[in-house]
A and B are shown apart, each in its own frame.
Chain A
Amino acid sequence: MPPILELRDVKTHFPVHQGFLVRRNAGAVKAVDGVNLALARGEVLGLVGESGCGKSTLARTIMQLVPTTGGAVILEGKNLTAGGADEVGAVRRDMQMVFQDPYASLNPRMTVHDTIAEPLLVHRVCAPAEVTPRVAELMTLVGLAPRFMQKYPHEFSGGQLQRIAIARALALNPKIIIADEPVSALDVSIQAQILNLLSQLVRKMNLSLIFIAHDLSVVKHISDRVAVMYLGKIVELGPAVEVIEHPRHPYTRALISAIPTPNPDVERARKRIVLPGDPPSPINPPRGCAFHPRCPHAQERCQAAVPPLEKLEAGDNREVACIRAEEIWQ
């Protein structure tokens, strides 16, 4: 089956200007720098990485909310980067986003009814008389009682607001949902409720989900596959459980070893790989492999060329962008 969404060498760069009266170009922030990815129908792809690695920009690029610098975003055979504004607008109903902070992403002056009804009215998918029943149906779907329809966002808790945001995203029967850190702002007990809701919806509606998070335990739970990003590039891609339990890229290893586990004996016994320093600036990424200045396994040849994302062996189901992956792994 062909993938529902395909990214081919997608690049999103933001120009940086310097100077006050005479503005000159001082390079670019390479937020997304050559990403190749395919998403199958009904698949959940987890996207992880530290802040500034470009995972949110990648989401915005897929949604065509920021101009693409290069490459192609292909949704069901249609190249969105080549299309005009009308085409993108029409296609956008197939892709919807859920954001991190539901307090900020819902309009405080709109009732729940109006918030969920807005996409229906904008895209004219419902006759005016059918709007309210449809809103009620969507609210039931995400586990909210339709009698709260006329309430305003401030009357709800964070978890309930996130349910409203999900209902709004589902209003147009999208094929893909992109959720950008949808549970990071919520408490643990509420997180679990939203995660369960998302996995149920994916199964029930055969949705594809791109789930962006920095919490790897959450990602492992919900995703089929995981992509790990570092400085605008995917450095490891593969089945969720394998990537998280047996990481191969040195960055993925460090990332996973840094997560504290709620198990005192394991936690005290284990050796942590503490990475020195902070992620480098995406304006001036290090030569060769962008991770080499922080990598405990770096050698001189790591600086020579950007390592491609490739399979270690033919027939392998995961890809790693590290020239030493095979040596380190053995």
Chain B
Amino acid sequence: MLLSVKDLRTYFHTRSGVYRAVDGVSFDLERGETLGIVGESGSGKSVTCYSLMGLVPQPPGRIESGVAMFDGVDLLHCAPHRLQSIRGKRISMIFQDPMTSLNPYLRISEQLIEPLIIHEKISRKAALARGLEMLEAVGINDAAKRIHYHPHEFSGGMRQRVMIAMALITRPELLIADEPTTALDVTVQAQILELIKKMQKESGMAVIFITHDLGVVSGLCDRVQVMYAGRIVETAGTRTLFYQPRHPYTIGLQRSIPSLQQKGRELFTIKGLPPDISKNFTGCAFADRCELARESCRQQQPELKPVTPEHQQACLRVQAGEI
């Protein structure tokens, strides 16, 4: 086991109330595995990963509880210098918008080799050679010249390649990718997804892939977990999740994708809006939007329970065998 997260809770304490962005999330990740985290905006998928990386601004954020064991080290409670030595070296992260994650004032070469200089204490010259190698590996033509460019001289797709090169240059064991292709065109998205697959095959790293696009997940991930209002509502192997989903939210999400529906028919919609996570509520967070909800759904908070050993879901009525 590479990473084991238990009962992670990250709340944001703001003037307008306490936002329970992540509210009791537990999951495990094996070495070399690709885990997809799917959910709508505000479901807590990004905050989960930001918490692991120590990137939640505190205040207003606070990690209320939880343990995240990464190879024997608790990422949430270890000393800052321990976290420093893991973050950026053994765990790397790439973000949605490559323009705002690169420093526009610095040449690509400076930013690319920064993790090497910090973590591996090798000479600039050796680091530059590794950087060049990495840029070529992510498919940037004419890398020897382009390594000295500034970010604005690259297109969106190339910037995301640079981000990937930067994340992978220290040969991490875990890559967290937070919607890395959402801002890109589909043809460029296809290039980037192929690249992540190729790099993963070569290095054997584990990947956590955060996205709202079920299509991206289906081709890339071994396992998928669906989040709603700060909690995991269903987790299973990719094929199981797509072909035998059990939780009403997962089913609704899949049914509302236009490509799976017959043209001309009215699209299936999940009525209503995601709940306000600053309000206290009892019971299932999805109950207000769920067509199958009963009174009992509003009284008891559902927990993830296994359907089969590798498939868990958190719908009380499914668990009771009613659906």
Residues of A within 8 A of B (CB): 50-51, 157, 159-160, 187-193, 195-196, 199, 214, 216-218, 220-222, 240-241, 254-255, 257-265, 267-268, 272, 274-275, 278
Once A254-B187, A275-B187 are accepted as A-B contacts, the answer to whether A187 and B212 lie under 8 Å apart by CB is yes
Number of interface residues of B (CB under 8 A): 43
Report if B201 contacts A (CB, 8 A).
no
- A264 x B239 contact (CB < 8 A): yes
Report if B109 contacts A (CB, 8 A).
no
- Tell me the nearest residue of chain A to B271, going by C-beta: A193
Within residues 247 to 282 of chain B, which ones have a CB less than 8 A from any CB in chain A?
252-254, 256-261, 263, 266-270, 273
Contact of B219 among A193, A216, A260 (CB under 8 A): A260
Report if B14 contacts A (CB, 8 A).
no
Contact of B188 among A191, A262, A265, A278 (CB under 8 A): A278
Interface of B is mostly: helix
Report if B238 contacts A (CB, 8 A).
yes
Once A192-B268, A196-B266, A262-B214 are accepted as A-B contacts, the answer to whether A267 and B187 lie under 8 Å apart by CB is no
Q: Which residues of A have CB within 8 Å of B263?
A: 220-221, 240-241
- A260 x B193 contact (CB < 8 A): yes
- B40 x A263 contact (CB < 8 A): no
- B188 x A189 contact (CB < 8 A): no
Q: Which residues of B have CB within 8 Å of A199?
A: 266
- A157 x B273 contact (CB < 8 A): yes
Q: Which residues of B have CB within 8 Å of A51?
A: 156, 185
- B253 x A260 contact (CB < 8 A): no
Q: Which residues of A have CB within 8 Å of B260?
A: 262-263
Pairs A-B, 10 closest by C-beta atoms:
A260-B215, A217-B259, A267-B219, A221-B258, A258-B190, A262-B214, A187-B40, A192-B256, A50-B185, A192-B267
Report if B84 contacts A (CB, 8 A).
no
Please measure, in the bound complex, the distance between the C-alpha atom of A190 and the C-alpha atom of B267, giving whole angstroms.
11
Q: Which residues of A have CB within 8 Å of B267?
A: 192, 195-196, 221
Contact of A262 among B189, B242, B252 (CB under 8 A): B242
Residue in A264, A268, A272 whose Cβ sees the most chain B Cβ within 10 Å = A264
State the Cβ distance, A132 to closest chain B Cβ, in Å.
Answer: 26
Residues of B within 8 A of A (CB): 40-41, 155-158, 185-191, 193-194, 212-219, 238-239, 242-243, 252-254, 256-261, 263, 266-270, 273
Please measure, in the bound complex, the distance between the C-alpha atom of A218 and the C-alpha atom of B267, giving whole angstroms.
10
Q: Which residues of B have CB within 8 Å of A275?
A: 187, 190-191
- B259 x A261 contact (CB < 8 A): yes
Contact of A278 among B157, B193, B242, B243 (CB under 8 A): B157
- Tell me the nearest residue of chain B to A199, going by C-beta: B266
- A189 x B191 contact (CB < 8 A): no
Once A159-B273, A217-B259 are accepted as A-B contacts, the answer to whether A258 and B187 lie under 8 Å apart by CB is yes
- B258 x A50 contact (CB < 8 A): no
- B242 x A214 contact (CB < 8 A): no
- B259 x A195 contact (CB < 8 A): no
- A188 x B212 contact (CB < 8 A): yes
Once A51-B185, A255-B187, A260-B216 are accepted as A-B contacts, the answer to whether A220 and B259 lie under 8 Å apart by CB is yes
A to B CB contacts below 8 Å, 26 in the list: A50-B188, A188-B253, A188-B257, A189-B252, A189-B253, A190-B40, A190-B273, A199-B266, A214-B185, A216-B186, A221-B258, A258-B189, A259-B259, A260-B218, A261-B259, A262-B218, A262-B259, A263-B218, A263-B242, A264-B218, A265-B239, A272-B190, A272-B194, A274-B190, A274-B191, A275-B191
State the Cβ distance, A44 to closest chain B Cβ, in Å.
Answer: 11
- A193 x B269 contact (CB < 8 A): yes
Contact of A50 among B41, B186, B194 (CB under 8 A): B186
- B259 x A189 contact (CB < 8 A): no
State the Cβ distance, A255 to closest chain B Cβ, in Å.
Answer: 6
- Tell me the nearest residue of chain A to B42, going by C-beta: A187
Contact of A192 among B155, B190, B216, B258 (CB under 8 A): B258
- Tell me the nearest residue of chain A to B154, going by C-beta: A278
Residue in B187, B243, B252 whose Cβ sees the most chain A Cβ within 10 Å = B187
